């Protein structure tokens, strides 16, 4: 929770600084482009997060992007396969790669770093060999297909409305079973009470506590309360700007990849937090032995995590290619695994495993993309890009560690 607020703060600071120094930053075109990039890279980040949560690592993400991204135009255009069979094969290849990683790690107990490092080399080599290292592209054909990534759908307002509505319903439905009275009335009461508590909390701490006491029993947790207030806030802002058609939010078109990311984030969040699989995944990451001693099929869980990662990387590869229209087999996806890992770590995943939030990863990806965008707009030379990105990530992780220690110390002192 605190981690997410921290990274969100970082995001806003970078936005603010860039907007002050560049006129083009707040243009709808730029924001839409930024969203598209965040969508594409975010898919990879969510994928690798599943593996990082198990305490493993996947270095082959970028090469899988390269392989599947090359396969799509190569098979479709050069080999003349049908779209369904190409996508089917890509899905199959991704699943097999993930299975291979997972089984090597869980059955043969090889180190994830090594297994996926070899994967990084093998899949890149395969992509280059299959295509004779020649550029692949769609040319002028397959425009409907390319609409999938280039085409906008709705405005930022409509996206916010949808997301806000889904999250609000989810939070309310999560505790539906304990509800008293009719759902609509109960829901409205919960929402209004949580808002009153938050608004009073802005003035004084005591006000918040008093407001919290008046909330229904199931809302007595701060995380839930904050979640409900922010999701309804998103809903209201989105709805109002959508209906009036004013403000920047209503003008910015939302590109397809961002919709994909949002949908994926919702599903992944549900999977991680609300399902037996997600609980078992977190338990395995926190203490694999204890999970095994509790009857969790840790081998299966870890293997599934690698499969999810490879499949999302495969999906990413397809979308990246469609977005760019052409690919160089030796270039597409290079370093993407590092962006994905960096986004996951910025977003609160611990490389020790057992920790991670989907929202954090999405915001982490956005921060990285924003930095990249800021370099463009502010005219900072590209050569320094990696150095700055590395520094920002290091500072983020350092700040997190320092805060963690201070909190731990304070808790020990008071306990």
Partner 1 sequence: MTEPLLEAHGIGKRFPGVRALHRVDLHVAPGEVLGLVGENGAGKSTLMKILAGIERPDEGELRWRGESTPIESPRAASSLGIALIHQELNLADNLDVAGNLYLGREPRRFGLLDRQRLEADARRVLTRIGVPFGPGTPITELSVGQRQLVEIARALAADAQVLIMDEPTSSLSTNESERLFEVIRELSNRGVSIVYISHRLGEVIDLADRVTVLRDGERVAELVGDEIERGRMIHCMVGRELDSFYASRPHALGQVALEVEELRTEAHPQHAVSFTVRAGERVGLAGLVGAGRSEVLRALFGIDAPRSGSVRVTGRELSLGKPRNAIAAGLALVPEDRQGQGLILTANLRDNIGLASLARRSRLGFVRRPLEDALARRQQTSLRIKAPGPDQLAGNLSGGNQQKVVVAKWLALEPRVLLLDEPTRGVDVGAKHEIYEMISRLAENGVAILFVSSEMEEILGLADRVLVMHEGRLTGELGREELAESAVLQLATGGQEAATR
- Length, in residues, of the chain: 415
Please state the closest distance from residue 171 (CB atom) to partner 1, in A.
Answer: 12
Rounded CA gap, 156 and 241, in Å?
9
Cβ neighbors of 328 (< 8 A, separation 6 or more) are 135
Rounded CA gap, 42 and 261, in Å?
7
Rounded CA gap, 225 and 195, in Å?
9
> Would you count residue 209 as binding partner 1 (CB under 8 A)?
no
Q: What angle do CA 284, 285, 287 make, to 5 degrees?
A: 65
Which among 137, 118, 136 is positioned nearest to 128, based on CA atoms?
Answer: 136
Query: In DSSP terms, which residues pair with 253 in a beta bridge?
Result: 155
According to DSSP, residue 78 is labeled I
According to DSSP, residue 246 is labeled -
Span from 120-128, 226-234, 235-243, 287-295 in contact with partner 1 (CB under 8 A) = 287-295
> Would you count residue 301 as binding partner 1 (CB under 8 A)?
no
Instruction: For residue 289, give both structure tokens.
Output: 């032995």
Please state the closest distance from residue 170 (CB atom) to partner 1, in A.
Answer: 12
> Would you count residue 401 as binding partner 1 (CB under 8 A)?
no
Span from 45-53, 174-182, 198-206, 226-234 in contact with partner 1 (CB under 8 A) = 174-182
Query: Which residue number, 139 or 295, has a Cβ lying nearer to partner 1?
Result: 295
Rounded CA gap, 22 and 370, in Å?
13
Determine contact, residues 329/134, Cβ cutoff 8 Å.
yes
Which among 93, 103, 8 is positioned nearest to 314, based on CA atoms?
Answer: 93
Q: How many residues bind partner 1 (CB under 8 A)?
A: 27
Query: Which residue number, 62 or 354, has a Cβ lying nearer to partner 1?
Result: 354
Query: Which residue number, 175 or 195, has a Cβ lying nearer to partner 1?
Result: 175
Which of 49, 291, 302, 363 is the binder for partner 1 (CB under 8 A)? 291
Q: 67 to each of 122, 203, 312, how far by Cα in Å?
A: 10, 55, 13
Which among 361, 360, 350 is positioned nearest to 404, based on CA atoms?
Answer: 350
Which among 257, 253, 264, 268 is positioned nearest to 319, based on CA atoms?
Answer: 257
Span from 17-25, 49-57, 173-181, 243-251 in contact with partner 1 (CB under 8 A) = 173-181
Please state the closest distance from residue 218 (CB atom) to partner 1, in A.
Answer: 8
Query: Which residue number, 56 or 329, has a Cβ lying nearer to partner 1?
Result: 56
Sign of CA dihedral 91, 92, 98, 99: positive
Query: Which residue number, 238 or 360, has a Cβ lying nearer to partner 1?
Result: 360
Query: Which residue number, 296 or 319, has a Cβ lying nearer to partner 1?
Result: 296
Instruction: For residue 317, give both structure tokens.
Output: 């590869």
Query: Which residue number, 122 or 300, has a Cβ lying nearer to partner 1?
Result: 300
> Would you count residue 109 as binding partner 1 (CB under 8 A)?
no
3-state secondary structure of 378: helix
Query: Which residue number, 158 or 231, has a Cβ lying nearer to partner 1?
Result: 231
In the region spanning residues 313 to 372, those forming contacts with partner 1, defined by CB under 8 A, are: 354
Please state the closest distance from residue 107 (CB atom) to partner 1, in A.
Answer: 14
> Would you count residue 415 as binding partner 1 (CB under 8 A)?
yes
Instruction: For residue 232, give both structure tokens.
Output: 């309804």
> Would you count residue 297 as binding partner 1 (CB under 8 A)?
yes
Please state the closest distance from residue 293 (CB atom) to partner 1, in A.
Answer: 5
Query: Which residue number, 283 or 346, has a Cβ lying nearer to partner 1?
Result: 283
Query: Which residue number, 82 or 220, has a Cβ lying nearer to partner 1?
Result: 220
> Would you count residue 406 as binding partner 1 (CB under 8 A)?
no
Site string for partner 1, 252-281 (x = CB under 8 A): ----------------------xxxx-xx-
Which of 71, 296, 315, 319 is the binder for partner 1 (CB under 8 A)? 296
Q: Residue 85: which H helix or E strand, with range?
A: helix 83-106
Rounded CA gap, 321 and 80, in Å?
17
> Would you count residue 195 as binding partner 1 (CB under 8 A)?
no
Please state the closest distance from residue 268 (CB atom) to partner 1, in A.
Answer: 14
Query: Which residue number, 2 or 79, has a Cβ lying nearer to partner 1?
Result: 2
Catalog residues that contact partner 1 under the rule CB under 8 A: 174-175, 177-178, 221, 274-277, 279-280, 282-283, 286-287, 289-297, 354, 412, 415
């Amino acid at each position: 929770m605190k981690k997410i607020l921290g990274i969100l703060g970082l995001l806003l600071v970078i936005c603010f600084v860039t907007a002050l120094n560049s006129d083009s930053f707040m243009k709808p075109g730029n924001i839409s482009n930024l969203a598209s990039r965040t969508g594409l890279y975010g898919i990879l980040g969510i994928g690798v997060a599943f593996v990082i949560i198990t305490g493993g690592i996947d270095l082959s993400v970028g090469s899988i992007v390269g392989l599947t991204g090359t396969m799509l135009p190569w098979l479709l255009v050069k080999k003349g396969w049908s779209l369904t069979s190409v996508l089917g094969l890509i899905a199959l290849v991704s699943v097999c790669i993930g299975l291979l990683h997972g089984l090597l790690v869980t059955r043969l107990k090889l180190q994830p770093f090594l297994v996926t490092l070899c994967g990084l080399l093998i899949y890149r080599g395969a992509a280059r060999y299959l295509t004779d290292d020649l550029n692949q592209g769609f040319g002028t054909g397959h425009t409907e297909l390319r609409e999938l990534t280039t085409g906008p759908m709705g405005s930022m307002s409509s996206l916010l409305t949808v997301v806000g509505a889904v999250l609000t319903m989810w939070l309310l439905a999560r505790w539906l079973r304990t509800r008293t009275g009719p759902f609509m009335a109960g829901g409205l009461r919960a929402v209004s009470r949580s808002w009153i508590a938050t608004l009073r909390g802005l003035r004084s701490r005591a006000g918040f506590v008093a407001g919290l006491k008046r909330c229904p029993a199931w809302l007595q947790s701060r995380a839930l309360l904050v979640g409900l207030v922010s999701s309804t806030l998103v809903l209201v802002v989105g709805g109002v700007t959508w209906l009036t058609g004013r403000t920047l939010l209503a003008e910015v078109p939302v590109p397809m990849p961002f919709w994909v990311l949002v949908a994926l984030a919702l599903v992944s969040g549900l999977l991680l937090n609300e399902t037996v699989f997600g609980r078992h995944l977190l338990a395995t990451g926190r203490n694999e032995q204890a999970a095994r001693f509790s009857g969790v099929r840790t081998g299966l869980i870890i293997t599934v995590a690698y499969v999810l990662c490879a499949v999302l990387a495969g999906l990413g590869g397809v979308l990246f290619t469609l977005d760019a229209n052409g690919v160089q087999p030796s270039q597409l996806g290079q370093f993407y695994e590092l962006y994905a890992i960096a986004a996951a770590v910025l977003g609160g995943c611990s490389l020790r495993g057992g920790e991670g939030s989907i929202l954090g990863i999405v915001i982490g990806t956005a921060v990285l993309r924003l930095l990249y965008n800021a370099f463009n707009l502010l005219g900072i030379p590209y050569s320094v890009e990696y150095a700055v990105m590395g520094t920002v990530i290091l500072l983020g992780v350092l700040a997190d560690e320092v805060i963690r220690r201070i909190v731990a110390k304070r808790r020990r002192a008071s306990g």
